[in-house]
RNA sequence: GGGCGAAUAGCUCAGCUGGUUCAGAGCGCCUGCCUUACACGCAGGAUGUCGGGGGUUCGAAUCCCUCUUCGCCCACCA
């Protein structure tokens, strides 16, 4: 049907063409589901990568997990939609372009707002969404026809609709508060964007003299430079030490300004000196104290965090760090520095550039979060929202419980402009919030000026579960694909994105956007450090694809990850990280090549396919591999359902490599070659079980499985494994007897191989084997599988009788069957005695401890009957094995 | 300061509801094989006080407590 498989597995040859073919066929569109529109939808929203992003290992993991889930559900017949998009990423993208400008010696201010935004657009258009192309290289089956960008017209409308609606509901407001300010990006940030980091700092104790010269108060601070903006000193109202000072005045050193001493409950008398300097313009807690006591706020810093005109002249223009040094120096010179002790505390850093955050008083827009958080918390408490792993749910709940209002305005140029217009007409000054652009003031008809700020990037991404489907229009897509089902995310963006999507979903759409939140781990290096560009410890997924194939990349990521734990990879040793998965793909390739090559030739009577095989035509090995296949279907399916993707992958790996390749294929060779009858049955069974295995593995290794699957006979030209039906469990395939009997055959083969290796029998040299069993005949299965044993263990004669010779290798199977390989002079009797003795000892120990266990009245009476029964059988088995070996030892004449 | 996770072979990790996967896998290591699907392979082998200590139980890698080490998240004690 198609060209024969290349003799060598080469992912570079197969992957790109297959991906192109999938796309041509439209297989990733939900409309293509085999059951069509009747099928129940299954929706995953891709966390939109930043437009400027390059694929890194974290994207690789996150998107591989999503692809596995989506492919799994697609094969199960769901109308699967994996919706991709990119995020305009306000600060991040603006920073990138600003850095480019800097190389030309320019700043954005040189260009001006409009030209700068044009510049960013052209950059975004030029680089395109590179990352989406990169996701294709790793096999992601997203519906690219629905790809969105958060600055698209549609999504921008959604942003505006949301802003206006929340404003109308009183949930969006403008206010003058302390916010987190990045002096390098020159913008406000949300609390989540200010990353707290434990820092080794200092606690300076500064002496503030009383205005009347009658004494002084010592205050403790970690940021002495802010004292230039102090407008009070606060103490606890019940603090005996300072009671008399309340209401009196301080003469603020360096500034020489009188400030009051106030009493406030927020002061902790046990910390530092128990007295606090109050700087309402530079500290959120001080801001609150300032409000309560009607203190003025003096902002002593510029947006760039240099000392402003509000500071004494000699400090003006100094950077905050220089200002700190100078303030401390002046206190010291004046004899007012009491002490400076080491002090660990958390300092906020800008999540985009790492600059130390400056708490800054300014006018910003906020979203009132409590009313949104309450129902989002309720949906978790009532079990609607399910987190995997469960403990992540508690992180979510804790965050919602302590939620603070969300600062959404950014002093940037790249993003959604805030839809607010201010009337410039004197005497009007009306503020208008509007869904459409305004030219004139709706009140007085005067000229209006739009708010300069843009919205937080996350203000658009928190809407994607519905904005990407056409909302606020009532589109078919919205009706069909909202709400979605599973969200796959890194825990890092649980608060930024996941929790906020849940809130917006409930508020704007009336329903949570997803019910299952799967939060996977982080990709780290062997020192458990997060992979990052700056550390240079990253792994480039595309390089891995090039060298090992996308399938190997995916398999490695999936198998290295159990629920919620990190994936550790060694950037310095790609071979040990990705080699094994590549080897597995190669194994698959060769097994497929072998099976397929044996299907060629003249027409077979088995044209009806595997279904035509009659039960009574099956050999033990056939029944065994079918039963193992059945067990694997159950195991893998359940594992996928429970998000235990690594276990699903491992189950299929074991089946393919350990069962199918190592045993079944080896076992059926004589039949395939015509040396034994039953070739057609073997072909049918091999084909059927391999087909099932390919389908079970397809979500993890889509390329190699497709390449092989399509080549099986009787496949229509347009058939794709990606929409092939998921294997169904079938009770009729269960076969405990076959599992037990073939297990015994495997044991026998293993025993003989072990003896051969022990005594260095040449690989080509056949041996004779004598098998017997006390008080009866060996299991009939061993007799029936004589050919299997002979082939797999290189046995020339397999006799079932009592051994007549004395010298050789001995072994015993778990059912007490005695195995003897006569080797004559080839073996050293002493050595064999040693082998037997250590085995006898081992079994003896098992027997002893088992006897003790069963001799324990408590155990026998309290453990469940079936457990006791099993333990009895174990004991009997070990006893029998031991007796057999003891007898063998005597026979050999061991000392 | 609060919350959470991890510790099992030299390395990276499985081991779920205590007892049939109970001490495992892959890599690495040792021995022997280019056996006509695969040397990216085949066969065989060695290696563990399941982090320490205590407890619950007839029975603990598994449940509880505690200690140690590492990591993560949250936090306006200046």
User: Which nucleotide is the nearest neighbour of A756, by CA and C1'?
Assistant: B44
pLDDT of residue A172: 96
Residue at the smallest CA–C1' distance to nucleotide B43: A753
User: Which nucleotide is the nearest neighbour of A585, by CA and C1'?
Assistant: B40
- Distance (Å) from CA A387 to C1' B4? 15
pLDDT of residue A606: 44
pLDDT bin (cut points 50, 70, 90) of residue A694 is very high
Residue at the smallest CA–C1' distance to nucleotide B59: A859
User: Which nucleotide is the nearest neighbour of A660, by CA and C1'?
Assistant: B37
User: Which nucleotide is the nearest neighbour of A761, by CA and C1'?
Assistant: B32
User: Which nucleotide is the nearest neighbour of A235, by CA and C1'?
Assistant: B78
Q: What share of chain A is helix, strand, coil (3-state, %, to 5)?
A: 45, 20, 35
Percent of chain A whose predicted confidence (pLDDT) is above 70: 97
- Distance (Å) from CA A269 to C1' B77? 9
pLDDT of residue A601: 53
- Distance (Å) from CA A195 to C1' B65? 35
Q: Model-level pTM?
A: 0.93
Write the ipTM: 0.95
pLDDT bin (cut points 50, 70, 90) of residue A40 is very high
Residue at the smallest CA–C1' distance to nucleotide B18: A863
pLDDT of residue A607: 43
User: Which nucleotide is the nearest neighbour of A593, by CA and C1'?
Assistant: B37
Closest CA to A647 of A658, A659, A634: A634
A614 pLDDT more than 80: no
- Distance (Å) from CA A576 to C1' B10? 15
The order of strands in the sheet holding A216-221 is: A216-221, A194-209, A337-350
Across the range A481-502, mean pLDDT stands at 92
Structural contact between residues A469 and A173, judged by C-beta atoms closer than 8 angstroms = no
User: Which nucleotide is the nearest neighbour of A288, by CA and C1'?
Assistant: B76
**What DSSP letter does each residue of A475-504 carry, written as one string?**
-HHHHHH-S--EEEE-GGGIIIIIHHHHHH
pLDDT: is A526 or A93 the higher one?
A93
- How far from A18 is each of A541, A595, A596, CA to CA, in Å? 19, 21, 19
Which two tokens mark A795? 């046995």
A307 pLDDT more than 50: yes
- Distance (Å) from CA A757 to C1' B46? 15
User: Which nucleotide is the nearest neighbour of A644, by CA and C1'?
Assistant: B16
Structural contact between residues A589 and A581, judged by C-beta atoms closer than 8 angstroms = no
- Distance (Å) from CA A563 to C1' B13? 13
- Distance (Å) from CA A600 to C1' B32? 35
pLDDT one-digit tens code per residue, A344-355: 888 899 988 889
- Distance (Å) from CA A303 to C1' B2? 34
pLDDT of residue A612: 53
Residue at the smallest CA–C1' distance to nucleotide B58: A859
Residue at the smallest CA–C1' distance to nucleotide B41: A587
Q: Which residues of A640-679 are buried (b: 16+ CB within 10 A; e: fewer)?
A: beebbbbbbbbbbbebbeebbbebbbebbebbbeeebebb
Residue at the smallest CA–C1' distance to nucleotide B25: A650
A536 pLDDT more than 90: no
Alpha-carbon gap, residue A41 to A484, rounded angstroms:
8
Across the range A193-203, mean pLDDT stands at 87
Residue at the smallest CA–C1' distance to nucleotide B11: A526
- Distance (Å) from CA A763 to C1' B34? 13
User: Which nucleotide is the nearest neighbour of A346, by CA and C1'?
Assistant: B75
Across the range A134-162, mean pLDDT stands at 96
A464 pLDDT more than 90: yes
Across the range A367-391, mean pLDDT stands at 92
Alpha-carbon gap, residue A284 to A307, rounded angstroms:
19
User: Which nucleotide is the nearest neighbour of A860, by CA and C1'?
Assistant: B58
User: Which nucleotide is the nearest neighbour of A494, by CA and C1'?
Assistant: B73
- Distance (Å) from CA A869 to C1' B56? 25
Residue at the smallest CA–C1' distance to nucleotide B13: A560
User: Which nucleotide is the nearest neighbour of A666, by CA and C1'?
Assistant: B37
User: Which nucleotide is the nearest neighbour of A857, by CA and C1'?
Assistant: B58
Alpha-carbon gap, residue A778 to A782, rounded angstroms:
7
pLDDT bin (cut points 50, 70, 90) of residue A34 is confident
A825 pLDDT more than 90: no
User: Which nucleotide is the nearest neighbour of A283, by CA and C1'?
Assistant: B76
Structural contact between residues A433 and A419, judged by C-beta atoms closer than 8 angstroms = yes
Across the range A71-82, mean pLDDT stands at 95
- Distance (Å) from CA A107 to C1' B31? 69
A174: which residues sit within 8 A by CB, 6+ positions away? A363, A364, A365, A366, A431
- Distance (Å) from CA A867 to C1' B59? 11
* Lowest-confidence pick of A190-194, A387-391, A472-476: A387-391
pLDDT of residue A537: 77
Report the SS3 class of residue A44: strand
Residue at the smallest CA–C1' distance to nucleotide B33: A763
- Distance (Å) from CA A662 to C1' B42? 9
- Distance (Å) from CA A755 to C1' B27? 27
- Distance (Å) from CA A849 to C1' B53? 26
pLDDT bin (cut points 50, 70, 90) of residue A411 is very high
Structural contact between residues A395 and A494, judged by C-beta atoms closer than 8 angstroms = yes
Percent of chain A whose predicted confidence (pLDDT) is above 90: 65
HEC string of A48-83?
CCECCCCCCHHHHHHHHHHHHHHHHHHHCCCEEEEE
CA dihedral A883→A888→A892→A895, nearest 10 degrees, is: -20
- Distance (Å) from CA A582 to C1' B4? 36
- Distance (Å) from CA A862 to C1' B16? 25
* Lowest-confidence pick of A104-108, A532-536, A688-692, A852-856: A532-536
Residue at the smallest CA–C1' distance to nucleotide B2: A398
pLDDT bin (cut points 50, 70, 90) of residue A609 is very low
Residue at the smallest CA–C1' distance to nucleotide B1: A345
Read off the DSSP letter of residue A152: S
A491 pLDDT more than 50: yes
Note the strand B nucleotides within 7 A of protein beta carbons.
1, 3-6, 11-16, 19-20, 26-28, 31-33, 35, 37-38, 40-45, 57-59, 70-78
Residue at the smallest CA–C1' distance to nucleotide B42: A662
Structural contact between residues A489 and A62, judged by C-beta atoms closer than 8 angstroms = yes
- Distance (Å) from CA A757 to C1' B30? 13
């Amino acid at each position: 049907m198609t060209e024969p498989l290349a003799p060598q597995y080469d992912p570079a040859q197969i992957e790109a063409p297959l991906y192109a073919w999938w796309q041509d066929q439209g297989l990733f569109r939900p409309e293509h589901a085999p059951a069509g529109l009747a099928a129940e939808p299954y929706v995953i929203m891709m966390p939109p990568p930043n437009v400027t992003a390059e694929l890194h290992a974290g994207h690789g993991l996150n998107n591989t997990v999503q692809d596995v889930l989506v492919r799994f559900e697609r094969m199960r017949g769901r109308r699967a939609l994996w919706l991709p998009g990119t995020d305009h990423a306000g600060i991040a993208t603006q920073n990138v372009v600003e850095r480019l400008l800097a190389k030309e010696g320019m700043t954005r201010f040189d260009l001006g707002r409009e030209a700068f935004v044009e510049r960013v657009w052209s950059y975004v258009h030029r680089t395109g969404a590179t990352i989406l192309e990169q996701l294709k290289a790793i096999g992601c089956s997203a519906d690219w026809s629905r790809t969105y960008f958060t600055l698209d017209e549609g999504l921008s409308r959604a942003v505006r609709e949301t802003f206006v609606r929340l404003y109308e509901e009183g949930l969006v407001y403008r206010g003058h508060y302390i916010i987190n300010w990045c002096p390098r990006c020159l913008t406000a940030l949300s609390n989540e964007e200010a990353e707290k980091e434990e820092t080794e700092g200092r606690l300076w104790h500064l002496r503030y003299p009383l205005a009347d010269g009658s004494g002084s108060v010592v205050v403790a601070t970690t940021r002495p430079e802010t004292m230039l903006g102090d407008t009070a000193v606060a103490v606890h109202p019940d603090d005996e030490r300072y009671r008399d000072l309340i209401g009196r005045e301080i003469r603020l050193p360096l500034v020489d300004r009188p400030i009051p001493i106030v009493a406030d409950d927020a002061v902790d008398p046990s910390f530092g000196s128990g007295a606090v300097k109050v700087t309402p313009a530079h500290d959120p807690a001080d801001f609150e104290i300032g409000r309560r006591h009607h203190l003025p706020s003096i902002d002593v810093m510029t947006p760039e965090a240099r000392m402003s005109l509000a500071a004494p002249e000699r400090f003006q223009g100094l950077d905050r760090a220089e200002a700190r040094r100078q303030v401390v120096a002046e206190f010291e010179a004046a004899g007012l520095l009491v002490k400076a002790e080491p002090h660990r505390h958390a300092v906020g850093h800008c999540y985009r550039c790492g600059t130390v955050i400056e708490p800054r008083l300014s006018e910003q827009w906020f979203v009132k979060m409590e009313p949104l958080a309450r129902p989002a918390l309720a949906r978790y408490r009532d079990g609607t929202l399910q987190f995997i792993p469960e403990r992540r749910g508690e992180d979510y709940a804790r965050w919602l419980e302590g939620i603070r209002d969300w600062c959404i305005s950014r002093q940037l140029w790249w993003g959604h402009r805030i839809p607010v217009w201010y009337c410039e007409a004197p005497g009007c000054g009306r503020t208008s919030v509007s869904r459409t652009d305004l030219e004139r003031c709706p009140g007085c008809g005067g000229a209006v000026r739009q708010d300069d700020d843009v919205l937080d990037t996350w203000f658009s991404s928190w809407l994607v579960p519905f904005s990407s489907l056409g909302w606020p229009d009532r589109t078919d897509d919205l009706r069909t694909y909202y709400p979605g089902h599973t969200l796959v995310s890194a825990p890092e963006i649980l608060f930024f994105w996941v929790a906020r999507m849940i809130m917006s979903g409930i508020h704007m759409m009336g329903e949570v956007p997803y019910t299952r939140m799967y939060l996977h781990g982080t990709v780290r290096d062997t020192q458990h450090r997060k992979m990052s560009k700056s550390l240079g410890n990253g792994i480039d997924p595309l390089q891995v694809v090039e060298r090992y194939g996308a399938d190997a990349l995916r398999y490695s990521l999936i198998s290295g990850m159990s629920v919620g734990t990190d994936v550790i990879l060694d950037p310095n040793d790609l071979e040990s990280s990705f080699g094994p998965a590549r080897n597995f793909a190669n194994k698959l390739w060769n097994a497929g090549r072998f099976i397929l090559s044996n299907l060629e030739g003249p027409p077979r009577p088995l044209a009806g396919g595997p279904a035509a095989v009659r039960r009574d035509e099956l050999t033990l090995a056939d029944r065994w591999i079918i039963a193992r296949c059945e067990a694997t279907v159950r195991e893998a399916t359940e594992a996928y359902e429970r998000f235990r993707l690594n276990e699903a992958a491992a189950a299929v790996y074991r089946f393919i490599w350990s069962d199918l390749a190592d045993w079944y294929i080896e076992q059926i060779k004589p039949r395939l070659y015509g040396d034994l009858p039953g070739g057609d049955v073997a072909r049918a069974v091999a084909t059927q079980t391999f087909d099932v295995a390919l389908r079970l593995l397809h979500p993890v290794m889509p390329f190699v499985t497709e390449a092989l699957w399509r080549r099986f006979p009787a496949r229509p030209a347009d058939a794709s494994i990606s929409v092939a039906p998921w294997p169904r469990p079938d009770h009729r395939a269960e076969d405990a007897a076959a599992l037990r009997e073939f297990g015994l055959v495997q044991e026998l083969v293993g025993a003989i191989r072990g003896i051969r290796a022990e005594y260095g029998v040449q690989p080509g040299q056949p041996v004779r084997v004598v098998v017997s069993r006390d008080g009866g005949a060996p299991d009939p299965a061993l007799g029936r599988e004589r050919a299997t044993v002979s082939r797999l263990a290189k046995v020339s004669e397999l006799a079932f009788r009592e051994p007549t010779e004395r010298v050789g290798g001995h072994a015993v199977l778990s059912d007490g069957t005695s195995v003897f390989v006569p080797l004559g002079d080839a073996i050293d009797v002493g050595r064999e005695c040693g082998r037997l003795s250590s085995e006898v000892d081992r079994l003896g120990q098992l027997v002893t401890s088992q006897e003790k266990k069963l001799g324990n009245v408590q155990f026998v009476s309290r453990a469940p009957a079936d457990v006791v029964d099993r333990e009895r059988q174990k004991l009997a088995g070990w006893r029998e094995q031991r007796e057999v070996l003891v007898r063998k030892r005597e026979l050999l004449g061991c000392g």
